[in-house]
Amino acid sequence: MSPESRMTLAFDVYGTLVDTAGIAQALAGYVGDLAPSLAQLWRDKQLEYSFRRGLMQRYADFAVCTRDALDYACASLGADLTGTEKGALLQAYRALPAFADVEQGLQAVKTLGCRLFAFSNGTPDEVDALLKHANLRHHFEAIVSVDEVGSFKPDPAVYARLLQRTNSAAAETWLVSGNPFDVIGAIAAGLQAVWLKRDPQAVFDPWEIQPSATISRLDELPLVLPGVS
């Protein structure tokens, strides 16, 4: 790929590069067999709270959504955790594991000359810590956070901010995300977007908007990007 045609790739972080279900291991020490259910409810409510805050224009950063979602999940499932225990879990959320295919996938597209950015609902400090823990930070030119806008994905304003920060045209910018709502949001805002469908049973939202491409592993990404395979 020539320098003048370098493609901009923006990677979602939570659920795309790092495994949010990985928190179940830490949860198991506190709630035993309830851990997978609590981890899923925690994640679901975390996203729901971000959507609601975006719509209400009552922004509080992603850490607040994560904390409130943990409180809800514990109350809903009857997990009686202390403040100290919840604090330890929130700290563990800053050290989620990377998916096994991520390192190879990022290296493959970086070798092709693409520009790589981390693009997340998390604050810059949170995402930086998370990527450094997973030994992925060095792959990215920069971190673009919704915190700069004061809203959350899939608000069109956050995708516009991505284009502004990366100095990229929408037609040359691809989002890579494991979250269908993020893929739909990016395409609605004029970008291209790849759905990373890790779970064969996952269902994409039956909307009028479909992914630009679908892959099952991040190292398949070069196969679906135009002009780089």
Q: Could you give the percent of the chain with pLDDT greater than 70?
A: 97
Helix, strand counts (H, E) of the chain: 8, 6
Confidence tier at 227 by pLDDT (50, 70, 90)? confident
What is the residue range of 104's domain?
A: 3-19+97-223
pLDDT tens across 89-142, in order? 999 999 999 999 999 999 999 999 999 999 999 999 999 999 999 999 999 999
In angstroms, rounded to a whole number, what is the distance separating the alpha carbons of residues 39 and 91? Answer: 14
pLDDT tens across 210-223, in order? 999 999 999 999 99
Shared-domain flag, residues 88 and 182: no
Domain stop point among 95, 116, 145: 95
Question: What is the distance between the terminal CA atoms of the chain, rounded to a whole angstrom?
Answer: 10
In angstroms, rounded to a whole number, what is the distance separating the alpha carbons of residues 182 and 1? Answer: 27
Domain stop point among 95, 117, 134: 95
Which string of b and e fits 207-228 if b means at least 16 CB within 10 Å? eeebbbbebeebbbbeebbeeb
Tell me what the mean pLDDT of segment 181-208 comes to.
97
Residue 229: inside a domain: no
Shared-domain flag, residues 112 and 202: yes
Note the Cα 183 to chain centre separation in Å. 11
Q: φ and ψ at 142, to 5 degrees?
A: -165, 170
Q: What is the pLDDT of residue 5?
A: 54
Could you give the residue numbers annotated as active site? 12
| Predicted structure pTM score | 0.94
- R_g over Cα of the chain: 17
- CATH number of 36's domain: 1.10.150.240
- Both tokens of residue 39? 């981890």
